[in-house]
Amino acid sequence: QKLDDKIKVGFSQAMTTDDWRKQMNSSMKIEASLRPEVDLTIKDANNNIEKQIEDIEGFISKKVDVIIVSPIQSKPLTAVVEKSIKAGISVLVVDRKIEGESYTAYLGADNIEIGRIAARYIISHSKGSGKIIEITGANGSSPAYERSLGFEQIINENKHFRVDNIIHGNWEGESVKEPLKTILLQNPDIEYIFAHNDRMALSAWETAKTVGLEKKIKFIGVDGLNSVNGGIELVKSGVLDGTILYPTGGNEALKLALKMYNKEAIAKNNILNTIVIDKNNAEIIENQMDKVDQQQTVIESQQGAIKVQEREYASQNNLVRLLSFF
Ligand code: FRU
Q: Which of 122, 207, 198, 117 is nearest to 164 (CA)?
A: 122
Please tell me the pTM assigned to this model: 0.93
Q: Which of 270, 266, 268, 254 is nearest to 102 (CA)?
A: 268
Q: What is the pLDDT of residue 148?
A: 98
pLDDT tens readout for residues 8-25? 999 999 999 999 999 999
Consecutive H or E run containing 222: strand 218-223
Query: To test ligand 1's pocket by mutation, which of 12, 17, 18 has the most ligand atoms within 8 angstroms of CB?
Result: 18
Q: How far is the CA of 115 from the centre of ligand 1 (A)?
A: 14
Left (φ > 0), alpha (ψ -120 to 50) or beta: where does 37 sit?
alpha
Residue 323 banded pLDDT, cuts 50, 70, 90: confident
Give the mean pLDDT of 95-123. Answer: 98
pLDDT tens readout for residues 37-54? 999 999 999 999 999 999
Q: How far is the CA of 111 from the centre of ligand 1 (A)?
A: 11
Q: How far is the CA of 73 from the centre of ligand 1 (A)?
A: 12
Query: To test ligand 1's pocket by mutation, which of 25, 95, 146, 176 has the most ligand atoms within 8 angstroms of CB?
Result: 95
Of the listed ranges 115-119, 191-195, 294-298, the one predicted with least confidence: 294-298
Decide whether any atom of ligand 1 lies within 6 Å of the 20 Cβ.
yes
Decide whether any atom of ligand 1 lies within 6 Å of the 145 Cβ.
no
Residue 304 banded pLDDT, cuts 50, 70, 90: confident
Question: How many Cβ atoms from other residues are within 10 Å of residue 85's Cβ?
Answer: 14
Q: How far is the CA of 42 from the centre of ligand 1 (A)?
A: 17
Decide whether any atom of ligand 1 lies within 6 Å of the 44 Cβ.
no
Residue 312 banded pLDDT, cuts 50, 70, 90: confident
User: Which residues are CB-neighbours of 105 under 8 A, at least 6 positions away?
Assistant: 92, 93, 256, 260, 266, 267, 268, 269, 270
Decide whether any atom of ligand 1 lies within 6 Å of the 95 Cβ.
yes
pLDDT > 70: percent of the chain: 99
pLDDT tens readout for residues 204-263? 999 999 999 999 999 999 999 999 999 999 999 999 999 999 999 999 999 999 999 999
